[in-house]
Amino acid sequence: MERTPFNMELKNAFLGFAALWTILILGLNVGCNRLEYSNDPSYALEFSSDTVLFDTVFTSIGSITLPLKVYNLNDQAVQIESIELMNGGDSQFRINIDGEVGPEVSNWPLLAGDSLWIFIEVTVDPTNTSNPFVLEDDILFRTNGNDQSVKVVAWGQNANFHGGLGQLSPLPTCEETWGPDRPHVVYGIVQVETDCSLTILPGTQVHVHPGGGLLVYQSSLNVLGQLGAEVVFQGDRLEAEYESLPGQWGIELDFAFETEFGIEEVTVARGGIWLFGGVSCQIQHAILKNGTIGLQVDTTGTTIAPALNIQNTRIYNMSATGLFAQGGTIDGYNNLIYDCGLATAAFTLGGTYRLDHCTFANYWSSGTVRQSPSVLLTDWYEDVNGQIQYRSLEGSEFNNCIMWGNNHQLTDFDELVVSVLTPLSEPLFRNCSVDVQDEEFPLELLESCTLEAIPDFASTMNRDFHLVSNNAIWNGGQSQFAIGLDLDGLPRSVGVPDKGCYERQ
Interatomic CA distance for residues 7 and 20, integer angstroms: 20
What number of CA atoms fall less than 13 Å from residue 7's CA on the CB side?
Answer: 4
Interatomic CA distance for residues 172 and 52, integer angstroms: 21
What is the pLDDT confidence band of residue 28, given thresholds at 50, 70 and 90? Answer: very low
What is the pLDDT confidence band of residue 30, given thresholds at 50, 70 and 90? Answer: very low
**DSSP 8-state secondary structure symbol assigned to residue 78:** E
pLDDT above 50 (res 20): no
What torsion do the CA atoms of 316, 321, 327, 328 make, to the nearest 10 degrees? -10
Q: Which of 103, 218, 219, 206 is nearest to 152 (CA)?
A: 103
Residues 343-372 have a mean pLDDT of 94
User: What is the pLDDT at residue 7?
Assistant: 42
What is the pLDDT confidence band of residue 14, given thresholds at 50, 70 and 90? Answer: very low
Q: What is the pLDDT of residues 359-408, one digit of tens each?
A: 999 999 988 889 999 999 999 988 888 999 999 999 999 999 999 999 98
Residues 344-348 have a mean pLDDT of 97
What is the pLDDT confidence band of residue 59, given thresholds at 50, 70 and 90? Answer: low
Residues 258-275 have a mean pLDDT of 86
Residue 352 sits at φ, ψ, to 5 deg, of -130, 115
Q: Which of 16-20, 185-189, 460-464, 469-473 has the lowest mean pLDDT?
A: 16-20
Q: What is the pLDDT of residues 220-239, one digit of tens each?
A: 999 999 999 999 999 998 88
Going 469 to 472 to 476 to 482, the CA torsion angle's sign is positive
DSSP-derived pairing of the beta strands 446-447 and 397-399: unpaired
As a whole number of angstroms, the longest Cα–Cα distance in the chain is 126
Q: What is the pLDDT of residues 76-111, one digit of tens each?
A: 999 999 999 999 998 989 999 988 888 999 999 999
Amino acid at 456: D
User: What is the pLDDT at residue 55?
Assistant: 77
Residues 401-429 have a mean pLDDT of 91
What is the pLDDT confidence band of residue 125, given thresholds at 50, 70 and 90? Answer: confident
Percent of the chain clearing pLDDT 90 (strictly above)? 71
User: What is the pLDDT at residue 6?
Assistant: 34
Under 8 Å between Cβ of 233 and 206: yes
pLDDT above 90 (res 36): no
Q: Which of 211, 318, 323 is nearest to 267 (CA)?
A: 211
pLDDT above 60 (res 3): no
Interatomic CA distance for residues 391 and 358, integer angstroms: 24
What is the pLDDT confidence band of residue 265, given thresholds at 50, 70 and 90? Answer: confident
User: What is the pLDDT at residue 300?
Assistant: 63
Task: Give the SS3 label for residue 23.
Answer: helix
Task: Give the SS3 label for residue 242.
Answer: helix
pLDDT above 50 (res 4): no
Residues 24-31 have a mean pLDDT of 42
Under 8 Å between Cβ of 410 and 435: no
User: What is the pLDDT at residue 56?
Assistant: 67
What torsion do the CA atoms of 234, 235, 240, 242 make, to the nearest 10 degrees? -110
Percentage helix, strand, coil for the chain under 3-state DSSP, each rounded to 5: 10, 45, 45
Cα–Cα distance list, 350 to 266, 320, 359 (Å): 27, 20, 21
Q: What is the pLDDT of residues 324-340, one digit of tens each?
A: 999 999 999 999 999 99
What does R_g of the chain's alpha carbons equal in angstroms? Answer: 31
Contacts of 301 (CB under 8 A, 6+ apart): 278, 307, 328, 329, 352
Under 8 Å between Cβ of 80 and 71: no
pLDDT above 90 (res 344): yes
pLDDT above 90 (res 466): yes
User: What is the pLDDT at residue 58?
Assistant: 63
What is the pLDDT confidence band of residue 17, given thresholds at 50, 70 and 90? Answer: very low
DSSP-derived pairing of the beta strands 115-124 and 93-97: antiparallel
Q: Which of 257-261, 460-464, 483-487 has the lowest mean pLDDT?
A: 257-261
Residue 175 sits at φ, ψ, to 5 deg, of -115, 90
- Rounded to 5 degrees, what angle do the CA atoms 458, 462, 468 make? 5
Q: What is the pLDDT of residues 273-318, one digit of tens each?
A: 999 988 899 999 999 999 999 999 997 655 567 999 999 999 999 9
Interatomic CA distance for residues 190 and 463, integer angstroms: 32
User: What is the pLDDT at residue 19?
Assistant: 42
DSSP-derived pairing of the beta strands 262-269 and 252-259: antiparallel
Burial 369-398 (b: 16+ CB within 10 A, else e): ebebbbbbbbbbeeeeeeeeeebbbeebbb
Residues 122-132 have a mean pLDDT of 82
pLDDT above 70 (res 261): yes
Amino acid at 359: T
Under 8 Å between Cβ of 442 and 393: no
Residues 151-166 have a mean pLDDT of 87
Residues 470-484 have a mean pLDDT of 94
User: What is the pLDDT at residue 462?
Assistant: 97
Task: Give the SS3 label for residue 19.
Answer: helix
